[in-house]
Amino acid sequence: MSEELAVLAVVVGGIWALLLWISIVVWVYRDIRERTRDSSLQILSAFVVLVFFPGFNLPGLALYLMLRPRESLEEAYARSLEEEALLRELGDEGTCPSCRKLIEKEFQFCPSCQTQVKDQCAKCERLLSFSWVACPTCGTARPGAAPPAAPSPTQTATGIEAQGDQEPLQTTAATQEVEAARSQH
Ligand SMILES: [Zn+2]
Ligand SMILES: [Zn+2]
Where do the domains of the chain lie?
2-74, 91-148
Spacing, Cα 138 to ligand 1 middle (Å): 29
Q: Measured in angstroms, how far is the CA atom of residue 117 from the centroid of ligand 1?
A: 8
CA of 145 to the centre of ligand 1 (A): 22
Residue segments in the chain with a per-residue pLDDT below the cut of 50: 151-169
pLDDT tens, residue by residue, 104-128: 888 889 999 998 888 899 899 998 8
Helix (H, G, I), strand (E, B) or coil at 10: helix
The Cβ-side half-sphere exposure at 85, using a 13 Å CA radius, reads 7
Amino acid letter, 184: Q
Q: What is the pLDDT of residue 56?
A: 65
Which pLDDT value is given to residue 135? 92
In 29-74, DSSP assigns E strands to none
